[in-house]
Amino acid sequence: MAMSTAAQQEQVFAALDGFRIEVPSWGFANTGTRFGKFVQGGAATTIEEKFADAGQVNLLTGASPTIALHVLWDLPGGKADVPAIQKLEKQFGVKSGSINPNLFQDAEYKYGSIANPSAEIRGNALAHLLDSVEIGKELGSTDVSLWIADGSNYPGTQSVRRRIEWMQEVLKSTHDALGEGQRMLVEYKPFEPAFYHTDIADWGMALELARNAGPKAKVLVDTGHHYQGTNIEQIVAWLLHLNALGGFHFNDRKYADDDLTLGSIDPYQVFRIFHEILSASAAERASIAFMIDQSHNLKGKLEAMVQTVVTAQELYAKAALVDRAKLAGLQQECKLVEAEETFRGAFWTDVRPMVKEWRIARGLPAEPLQELAKSGYVEKITEERGSKNAKSASSYA
């Protein structure tokens, strides 16, 4: 028997009350492709503008109270920038979220950062990681989130094994500097920017490096960082089983790391991932950080971010509707069609009216995207930031 609408509503409300997803500072700034950069007049040009935009997304959705910070772009002065960030937190009602070191932009990282054959360059990378840990401590942020772009482009040109040892050493030293309550998340990616071998290419490598570093290190799953056809929810189930799932970078992909809007290509996959999360215990679930990792070159940045948070809420609400007790019984009896219909039925439920009810009940705008359009916020920031962005467009080489 299907759940009654009242019971469904209760499930959806409870799920949405507990659902938070972090927005990335870089999602509000101008970014480009390898081929061109289409500058947007309303893009954030300063850390203050990024906080303002994140605050706006949180006001509209009630679900994004934290902003991921990128050390190099958002705290170029390192720890000295912390008081300014704390001021912005108060001003815009958004807290600092994950701290993201940058080990890929500096020219010295041409042959790698924490896996570079040069001990001096590895030392510089470690120093940046330790600075990032300190920044996280001062901001009271839980996660230092590591994406390591290291790899090589030509067979035979690097020792894959030596590079493993070097990474282990740096990651262990970073782990040992973490404070109480702080964590280190290790992200993986099969290729790009390296096109022959990537030093942390899949979840197995990330898991082993995390385990070797210590108990505060967990794996970060970026949904766009998998080969076609990879069963991501199975990876999620394994990481949950091993108490090694730290969090997610959400986005969607059609071909590779495309940074497309979450759920725009395969919403059913996001639903399946959320089902695994909601099958976990409340304690397990509480330790999983949901983050958006998208930077849109064509869509309006505010609109894209609100649309993504709303989509995440809708897919999470759908997954909340899976009758997991019933499903467990059907799985045990191998009642395949009934099990699949129970699972699929939740996915096909139109949760939008219930999500809207939830927004109204929580004093939030019933339609966040429409509210954004009505608010005139995008026009206002385009007006304010337009000339700065036009300048950056002409100086972009």
Residues that bind Mn ion (CB under 5 A): 222, 249, 293
CB 48 → Mn ion: shortest distance, Å?
24
Of 24 and 42, which CB lies nearer to Mn ion in the complex structure? Answer: 24
CB 179 → Mn ion: shortest distance, Å?
24
Whether residue 193 is preceded by a cis peptide bond, meaning omega within 30 degrees of 0, is yes
CB 23 within 8 A of CB 294: no
For residue 365, give both structure tokens: 């705008």
Q: Where does residue 169 rank: exposed (0-12), middle (13-18), buried (19+ CB within 10 A)?
A: middle
Distance CA 151, CA 8 (A): 48
CB 193 → Mn ion: shortest distance, Å?
13
CB 257 within 8 A of CB 193: no
Of 294 and 342, which CB lies nearer to Mn ion in the complex structure? Answer: 294
Sign of the torsion formed by the C-alpha atoms of 108, 297, 69 and 355? negative
CB 262 → Mn ion: shortest distance, Å?
12
CB 353 → Mn ion: shortest distance, Å?
33
Residue 249 β-bridge partners: 222, 291
Of 222 and 323, which CB lies nearer to Mn ion in the complex structure? Answer: 222
Of 210 and 381, which CB lies nearer to Mn ion in the complex structure? Answer: 210
CB 248 → Mn ion: shortest distance, Å?
9
Residue 253, CB half-sphere, CA atoms under 13 Å: how many? 17
CB 8 → Mn ion: shortest distance, Å?
33
Of 222 and 252, which CB lies nearer to Mn ion in the complex structure? Answer: 222
- CA distances in angstroms from 386 to 37, 87, 299, 314, listed in the order given: 15, 25, 16, 33
Write out the E strands in the chain.
Answer: 23-24, 66-70, 95-100, 143-146, 151-152, 183-187, 197-198, 217-222, 245-250, 289-292
Of 189 and 385, which CB lies nearer to Mn ion in the complex structure? Answer: 189
CB 249 within 8 A of CB 222: yes
Of 15 and 312, which CB lies nearer to Mn ion in the complex structure? Answer: 312
